[in-house]
Amino acid sequence: LLLMRAAHAVIFICGRTGTLNEFTICYEDGRLGGVLEGTGGTSAMIKNIIEKSNKEGPEVIYDSDPEKLVNRLIKLIDEKEKVG
């Protein structure tokens, strides 16, 4: 819980129920999220969970390339910090 709330953004890779818990904490707290596509597990369900939640939340981005995913998240964090 503390780690999720201290992060500017969180990357979700594969996972099970713990990953689901971490995702919901981040989403509810407004943290940026990144999903590494193609890893299966809970991370493969995140798009569907967001759609079914019927709730506006923070930006969640998806990429199958880990380096691109990290770079995109860093860019979003930088943009968010310039605004806020």
d(CA 45, CA 62): 12
pLDDT tens digit sequence for 36-52: 999 999 999 999 999 99
Q: What percent of the chain has pLDDT over 90?
A: 92
pLDDT tens digit sequence for 5-28: 999 999 999 999 999 999 999 999
Q: Is the pLDDT of residue 84 over 80?
A: no
Order of strands across the sheet with 9-12? 9-12, 32-36, 60-63
**Rama region for 40: left / alpha / beta (φ>0; ψ in -120 to 50; rest):** left
- Check residue 1 and give its pLDDT: 85
Torsion, CA 32, CA 60, CA 77, CA 83, rounded to 10: -90
**0.75 surpassed by pTM:** yes
Q: At 84, list the tokens.
A: 């806020």
- Check residue 31 and give its pLDDT: 95
